[in-house]
Structure 1
């Protein structure tokens, strides 16, 4: 069975799908024949993606909701299930980044990052399970964590805390929902050339070059690289994979902390 054969009758919901990894994942599933439900905060952002996919002959529809609003998320999921009858795959890709000294993080900034990057993952997973996956006795959830969900660095306390939380949540749901036929896995992207990352490194070319030098493969990933990993984890080829935290980081997480610290000084 090919991926196209597998996904042709599947409904896939992707959060944060207006740009970056979420957009790449939505497009990848659409190319494989899935009915893709595109989520983001605004109808304008979602509309651009849906219109583009439909213009190419793919099946796509909108699922507008703020990932931090559990009632809006629940309603969006209920609408998707009403429209398509089920949700086979959920990709939790919505996220925001924060960079700055921990001592300067405001309570508002802290809550915002945790709300989007961690709370949202739980709200969407819970709603998809309640409305569809637990009832149908199967499903696949793929969470987008980060290299920051595995290791820490200075200047990203809220983001690191949230992404570590996603890793823990992935394992907890995999254990709890695995017996119900729901597989829950996560990808941990390393440096990936998304609009969010490009913006974060803008004007710091030398620092960016040093960051690339600390990646064993010496390259930044593309959003499509992360999408490929997401599609695999959602597919029949990963039917025995549950609770996996997959690094897609060029080997960065494999570096020992001592070596990484030495390399950072060079």
Structure 2
């Protein structure tokens, strides 16, 4: 199949393996997209892009600090120079520092909002402008979290950022709907990634509590999110905008 044939896609936070970004980049390439894998870890992003190319897909890697507007401008200019268009943006880069409020520092708060929320604004704005120039619409997929939908202990700063992503995306979706620029959020639950490993180590007690709340009784796989992102990137989701797609094994259905 080639559900993304002819599309140019940018996936941020694509270096980590296992990770949502790397899984999404690989899935997009399998379906025919030209994928830009970006990450602050440029060498890691290049390894993911090289794996894609080795498998017959099209991919390039770029170093990218998503908290820097100048870096966003540089990355978008490189894509525009090479292709003259951007069809799909996945704002995936993120960080989790899970601590109860008494232990949460101001730096923890600022860092998570900078990486998880401000970067989504920077990227979404630039993607909208690029898609407008091309005039063919496009799909912006902003990765939020179940923690952006319901309260979870130890996740105050993370929740603030991810909840912000959710409502920011709905507002932009309404603004851009008539231009066929679609903006949706994906809300992963407990997914087995490197960032989850960090969260487990940092907040082991709360991790045990969270796992016990998953009706399916297991953590999700990065491909579970990649497949949802694929649907939203493809024309199959052409009537979906301003929506939130939860992939959590039933965690928030209770």
Q: TM-score range by the shorter chain?
A: over 0.9
| Counterpart check, 1:249 vs 2:252 | no
1:114 paired residue number? 113
Moved more, 56-65 or 178-187: 56-65
Give 2:131's match in structure 1, choosing from 133, 142, 167. 133
Shift of 1:134: 1.1
2:9 paired residue number? 12
Contact 2:169-2:242 at 8 Å conserved across structures: yes
RMSD: 1.7
Contact 2:99-2:203 at 8 Å conserved across structures: no
1:160 paired residue number? 159
Contact 1:74-1:124 at 8 Å conserved across structures: no
Give 1 or 2: higher helix fraction: 1
1:53 paired residue number? 52
Structure 1 segments (4+ residues) deviating >6 Å: 203-207
- Counterpart Cα distance in 1 of 2:206 and 2:104: 23
Matched position secondary structure for 2:190: coil
Instruction: Tell me the alpha carbon deviations over residues 161-190 of structure 1, each in whole angstroms, 9 at most, x when there is no partner.
Output: 000000011101100111111000011000
Matched position secondary structure for 2:63: coil
Shift of 1:99: 1.2
How many aligned residue pairs are there? 251
Shift of 1:202: 4.0
Q: Which runs of 5+ in 2 are unaligned?
A: none
- Counterpart Cα distance in 1 of 2:13 and 2:59: 15
- Counterpart Cα distance in 1 of 2:156 and 2:182: 29
Instruction: Tell me the alpha carbon deviations over residues 41-63 of structure 1, each in whole angstroms, 9 at most, x when there is no partner.
Output: 13212211111211222100123
Shift of 1:233: 1.1
- Counterpart Cα distance in 2 of 1:160 and 1:247: 15
Give the direction of change, closer, same or farther, for the CA distance of 1:208–1:99 in structure 2 (3 Å limit): closer
> TM-score of the superposition, structure 1-length normalised?
0.89
- Counterpart Cα distance in 1 of 2:206 and 2:227: 28
Contact 1:63-1:80 at 8 Å conserved across structures: no
1:63 paired residue number? 62
2:98 paired residue number? 99
Moved more, 143-152 or 100-109: 100-109
Matched position secondary structure for 2:131: helix
Contact 1:145-1:189 at 8 Å conserved across structures: yes
1:258 paired residue number? none
Matched position secondary structure for 1:175: helix
